[in-house]
Structures are given as C-alpha cells and as structure tokens.
Structure 1
C-alpha cells in the first residue's frame, strides 16, 4: 500500500525504495511495489511528453489528465493492496520485471 500511495507525493522514489527493501522478502509486496514503480515511470514519461508538447500549446491539456489520473489510479492501487488484492495499472509500461 505504501508503494502505491507514496507515489502520489514522492513519484517513483517511494515504490523504488519499497521494491529494493522488500523484493526478496514478500512476493506480494515485491509484485505490488514493482507495479507501482512501473506506473510511476510511465507517469514520468507522460509528464516529459506533456512538457515537450507544451511548446506547441498542446501539452497543457495533458497536465490535468496526468495529475488526476495518477492520483485516482494510485489511490485505487493502494486500496486494492490494502485488501490483499493484486492491482494492475491500466496503460502502465512493464519496464521493471
């Protein structure tokens, strides 16, 4: 749960720390921190694209979508992890496996 919700404030740092610390201890925590890390990396890529597109005045439209989408999906992931369910983020690139 900390990996999902920590991403709201700390970006990819919180899931990265949880993944590094617990990847050899608990399979569920490893899976969920890995999923949260992949989502935060995907979100960071989205922010970079939005900033680049801001130079042609399109990227500003992506800012609220990325912010609200990241917030809602991270909360949904945290709630699912709290219930003991595995959560898969839609649209997340699976870069860390």
Structure 2
C-alpha cells in the first residue's frame, strides 16, 4: 500500500498564506475573506491558512464589539489596546509560520468558517 507524502506548499502558496495573516492587521477579516474566497480551490494550504486567519479576525472583531459595548462602563477602554496588541502579535506569528510552509493555528479563535 503506497503512503501519500504530505505535499509541500509552493513558495507562491506560502506567500499568499502569509499575506492572509498579515492583512488581518490592516483590513480585519476582509483581507483573509477575499483571499479565502479567491484561492480556496487552488491550494489546500492557502485554504486552510486563510480560513484560520479569517476565523481569528472574526474572533477579534467580536472582541472589539464587546470592548466597544463595555466602553460605556469604562472596562472596554482597557480591552481595546490589549486586543490591538494581541492581534498584531498573533498575525505576525501566523505570517512567519506560513512563510515557512508550516500550518499555523491561532491559540484562541472561534472556528466559525469550516
């Protein structure tokens, strides 16, 4: 019985996957959504990484909405900078892993897009 070796993503696939992680810093979930919709059928690696980035950015967006609602009782004012820093750090970690061809999973993300 032949064993299938896992396919190594091409450099272009790695670059597009890296871009899907980095766009989250600037565009929120829209960048990852566009890449996922356009490239999900071209490469399994791009599909998985852009979907992971999309799920994380949706989670961050939900966090910002909750922080905005809590800003009325002054707790949300503390959460907004924390969310910005967490988003920056995890997007960079995801981009570095994707550029190496490694699958990256965010430590906490609501996995809405399957």
Q: 1:24 aligns with which of 41, 55, 78?
A: 41
Helix, strand or coil at the partner of 2:85:
helix
Moved over 2 A (4+): none
Matches for 1:11-50 after TM superposition, within 5 Å: 11-50=28-67
Q: TM-score, normalised by structure 1?
A: 0.98
Q: How does 1:1-97 map to 2 (within 5 A)?
A: 1-97=18-114
Quote the RMSD (CA, aligned, Å).
0.5
TM-score by length of 2: 0.84
Q: Which runs of 5+ in 1 are unaligned?
A: none
Instruction: Measure, in 2, the Cα distance between the counterparts of 1:57 and 1:5.
Output: 30
The number of equivalent residue pairs is 97
Higher-Rg structure is 2
Distance between the aligned counterparts of 2:24 and 2:86, measured in 1? 13
